[in-house]
Amino acid sequence: MTQQSKGKRPSASRPLGARDIALDTLRRVETDQAYSNLQLNRALQDAGLSRADAGLATELVYGTIQRQGTLDYWLGKFVAKGLNKLEPWVRQLLRMSVYQLVYLDRVPPHAAVNEAVQIAKRRGHAGIAGMVNGVLRNMLRRRDELTIPEGLAPSDRLALEYSHPKWLVERWISAYGEETAEAMCAADNEPPHSSIRVNRLRSTREKALIRLREQEMSASPSELAPQGIVVERGGNLADTPSFRDGLWSVQDESSMLVAEAADPKPGMQVLDCCAAPGGKTAHLAEKMNNEGRVFANDLHPHKLKLIDDQAQRLGLSCIQTMSGDAGELAEHFAPGSMDVVLLDAPCSGLGVIRRKPELKWNKTPKDIEAITVVQRRLLASCSQLVRPGGVLVYSTCTVERKENEEQVDRFLKEHEDFELDAQWPMPVLASLKDKGAIGDSFSGMVQLLPHQAGSDGFFIARLRRRG
């Protein structure tokens, strides 16, 4: 890629500001398929911005990606030669600037335009700067035209109002109905909150809450996960003495429910088939009081260090890491040798859009079809390792029924020696019922949607092998 197509970065003598950081991140997400959260975190660590500027950069990155579809709809009326014909950095600069004009009240409109023009001058040439200036000032003059048309069909309205791909909205309306689909789309555009899982071997939730509040963090017990704590305005929770001392781990509340559903006991043989980065592995080991064995497998050898580092930090010696294709684990372990098998399967990730908003623009229906083939193969293979009377837990971080309920239904039809198991821990069932994720006739699998508890969208099924 040429320097022109990337846009020249400011000189080394001029420190990068919030908008430059945001623009570089947005370009990398589009052109290099970088994950927005990882790319932004790296950029902010290197830049050393003030808290206010770091907050602005974060808002610009997530907001611009979240609202990309709507921003492009409006920009399409003002960019003469078409938005897709612009260089990526110019396209992202326009998106980011219009996001400020429409969605950020605290940024004066003329300031947003002037900043965009200055960036265009530094990174491009006079022609680009003039085009950016003309487009944005024209949009500012015709601000009342930046609205959602009335009378649209439901899928078109939701796609444009909440900035989601139309194909995805159509699937959600078909699966959940228009009202729930709208709630899901709205939740995807909300900022995610932070949560931690207390290491029960080294602390209690009550003690952790006291410690967090002593550090002037706004913390409250999770209403979803027994060992969870929700932290508002807590900063980087992984950069604290308590994290380094292994008192807690950073994990989304819905993800914590996976090990709760597995409910392993001390002394058991447990297998986590797709384990990296190790959050669920560690949670399983904590619930087992570090007694027994948790085998943590991952396809990628370099990711094993993430699991080993977690185990060491948390004081968990019962975890044994290994690398290989989860579909071939039956070659390494005897059939029926595991009390609990967890398959946290590769998936489309459509339940974590609020954390990785680019997912909704990058995924396609073909991606869903392709991943269901992988999931089916892994389920068939990993299930062989469950002992009679043992438990198989299948989980994903998506809300796509082909990957979730339909996948489990197909597995049960093909494996009559398994059945759904509704014997989940009562506190977990109570919290799921309270959030409206399950009803009175709970079968053993749950689809937690992102608007129900303010958490990621997650699917969990607990199955038992007959015996």
Among the listed residues 33, 19, 31, the one whose alpha carbon sits nearest the alpha carbon of residue 63: 19
Among the listed residues 80, 43, 69, 73, the one whose alpha carbon sits nearest the alpha carbon of residue 58: 43
Q: What stretch of H or E contains 296?
A: strand 293-298
451 token code pair? 């608007």
- For residue 184, the SS3 value is helix
Q: What stretch of H or E contains 183?
A: helix 178-188
- Give CA separation, 31 vs 62, 130, 357, in Å: 16, 24, 15
Q: How many other C-beta atoms can be found within 10 angstroms of the C-beta atom of residue 384?
A: 17
Q: What stretch of H or E contains 218?
A: strand 218-221
Among the listed residues 368, 381, 347, 369, the one whose alpha carbon sits nearest the alpha carbon of residue 460: 347
Calculated CA dihedral for residues 321, 325, 327, 333, nearest 10 degrees: -40
Q: Rg (Cα) of the chain, in Å, rounded?
A: 24
Rounded to 5 degrees, φ, ψ at 68 are -55, -45
Handedness of CA 300, 303, 305, 307 (dihedral sign): negative
* 274: annotated active-site residue: no
Number of H helices, E strands in the chain: 21, 12
- Give CA separation, 172 vs 58, 239, 308, 397, 412, in Å: 28, 38, 38, 15, 24
Among the listed residues 110, 117, 108, 93, the one whose alpha carbon sits nearest the alpha carbon of residue 22: 93
Beta bridge partners of 395: 344, 460
Handedness of CA 393, 396, 397, 399 (dihedral sign): negative
- For residue 231, the SS3 value is strand
Would you give the end-to-end CA distance of the chain in angstroms? 59
Q: Are 247 and 279 in contact (CB under 8 A)?
A: no
Question: How far, in Å, CA of 75 to CA of 94, rounded?
Answer: 8
Active-site entry in 273, 274, 347, 397: 397
- For residue 80, the SS3 value is coil
Active site residues: 397
